Amino acid sequence: MAQRSKKREDSSSDGKIYYRIGEVSRITGVKPYVLRYWESEFRWMAPAKSRSKQRLYRKRDIEVIQLIKRLLYEERFTIAGARKKLREFGVSGALESPRLDIALEGNPHARLRRIRDELQSIRALL
């Protein structure tokens, strides 16, 4: 049983190019019907489809799903708010941007502390 759960954890780094919706569901912890719904809400999330019409997700798609999950479940954005935030940063920018981390920090005091520290370091340069 422990080996099975370890395999699930390692499945995101097993060298596969494409993942089916069930595998993505296990990796991300998001139910397949939710993934299908998000495809309709976030147009850029539409995965490729095989000849048999099965959804084929890439690692980048999984990263986007994890980002959307974080926005919706941890940061408590609405779907419209998450869509707006991703549009504002761009999907690739949102995945790589440290600015998004500042914007998404859950604790407002930590966010203000981090901004203050950055401003003080800029001030020291001047």
pLDDT digit string (tens) for 14-71?
678 999 999 999 999 999 999 999 999 988 788 889 999 999 999 989 988 998 998 8
Which is more confidently placed, 21 or 126?
21
User: 48-49 and 55-56: which strand pairing?
Assistant: antiparallel
Question: Which residues is 57 bridged to in the sheet?
Answer: 19
Give the integer Cα–Cα distance in Å for 116 and 121: 9
Cα-based angle 54, 73, 16 (whole degrees, multiple of 5): 35
Q: Are 11 and 28 in contact (CB under 8 A)?
A: no
Per-residue three-class SS string for the chain: CHHHHHHHHHHHHCCCCCECHHHHHHHHCCCHHHHHHHHHHCHHHCCEECCCCCEEECHHHHHHHHHHHHHHHHCCCCHHHHHHHHHHHCHHHHHHCHHHHHHHCCCHHHHHHHHHHHHHHHHHHC
pLDDT digit string (tens) for 67-94?
899 889 988 889 998 888 888 877 666 6
Topology of domain 2-125, CATH: Multidrug-efflux Transporter Regulator; Chain: A; Domain 2 (1.10.1660)
